[in-house]
Structure 1
């Protein structure tokens, strides 16, 4: 119960910037000659419209399941911030059944470089995400069957950091496509438990604590 309460408390905390800042500024005017390469602009939204997700995502791997699907919001100046909520699935491997996961992901994209009116590239972005897995085999607080302090970590909740890059195709701002952008992304991640284990451990190598993932994002607004 404490793990679940902490997870949804963080979800509420990450929604506050969304409600305060709203969506990205409007993009109704043409780009002036000589404007910067980074020109991320979306249609402005007001009031409760801000709660409507601006994009959907699918992600392969990333320590959040074999495949995760979800939606999210981008906001802030030049749409530098994204908050995603994703549901994933871990197939049955050594366990009797598969497991569902829930991930809350916060992205920060400092730069977006436009190669043309149709293509842009985010050379580096990063962030943090909180992931929980459902099932009686996993716990947030050490069960009583173990000696006190035997396990100092939770098997149900993991905190990850990640960094990556992505490329986007823009169908066209002026035309009324229902998809405003198609993005392919690649990420590298690690989690709190791996980092702690790696400190002072000469037997662990980078490939032992780093994971890779890839995904697709469809921009709706």
Structure 2
């Protein structure tokens, strides 16, 4: 059994090799990790408290978040396939009644694919997710007020959950700060619209679907 330590010493470098770690610039053997030649997303990691630094900013029009919403967030995952955003929006009194309303939204995206045409242009042909929006104002409530009969309103007027799908087209500029600038659109609906569609067959799809458009900027990490 004298050959056993020698065998271990021969195998150990394979586990300690940099090729085992999934990092930018690594060479991954085909049997270990299945690479995607058309997906050039790279996840650059923060350390310790630097993880709190936002990695992206976005501006969105419509979508149940008000007329415009602006926010910041983080991307993460081996291929940056997950994104979490916090957005603040406003709804002018023209559409909100007596005064302008503010909104707050928490949004979660999942981007399974990203296609790189060349070093500059990228396409995310499909992504999906969900978000929850709340609006300011005493006339909106989380629980049904006592003045209404029991279960007269089955939905909260303060919180609104949405689901959505979308597409995004991006550009990678030659800049030390900007990683990617992309334009996107999304098609969304909420639980109130879905229940209304299920109980009212006269409603058409265009009555329950909402379109939104936006711009997202991904930042480099040190």
In which range does the TM-score fall when normalised by the shorter chain?
A: 0.7 to 0.9
Question: What is the aligned partner in structure 2 of residue 122 from structure 1?
Answer: 124
Question: Does 1:27 pair with 2:24?
Answer: yes
Deviations 1:35-87 (A, max 9, x none): 61112103221111111110000000011110000000000120100000000
Following superposition of structure 1 onto structure 2, how do residues 7-46 of structure 1 map, counting pairs within 5 Å? 26-27=23-24, 36-46=37-47
Instruction: Give the match for residue 77 of structure 2.
Output: 76
Matching of residues 164-179 of structure 1 within 5 Å: 164-172=166-174, 176-179=175-178
Closer/same/farther in 2, CA of residues 192 and 35 from structure 1, 3 Å limit? closer
Structure 1 residues 85 and 213, CA gap change in structure 2 (3 angstroms): same
Q: Is the 8 A contact 2:68 2:90 kept in 1?
A: yes
TM-score normalised according to structure 1 size: 0.82
Determine if the alignment matches structure 1 residue 191 to structure 2 residue 193.
Answer: no
CA distance in 2, matches of 1:62, 1:26: 36
- Output the aligned Cα RMSD: 2.0
SS of corresponding position for 1:93 = helix
**TM-score if structure 2 supplies the norm length?**
0.82
Q: Secondary structure at the match of 2:40?
A: coil
Q: Name the CA distance, whole Å, in 2 between partners of 1:149 and 1:35.
A: 52
Aligned position for 2:201: 202
SS in 1 for 2:94: coil
Please name the residue that 1:85 is paired with: 86
Give structure 2 stretches of 5+ with no counterpart.
1-21, 28-34
Query: Which structure has the larger Rg over C-alpha atoms?
Result: 2
* Cα shift at 1:28: 5.1
Name the CA distance, whole Å, in 2 between partners of 1:177 and 1:97: 42
Alignment: residue pair count: 193
Paired residue for 1:13? none
Inter-CA distance 26–202: structure 2 relative to 1 (3 Å threshold): same
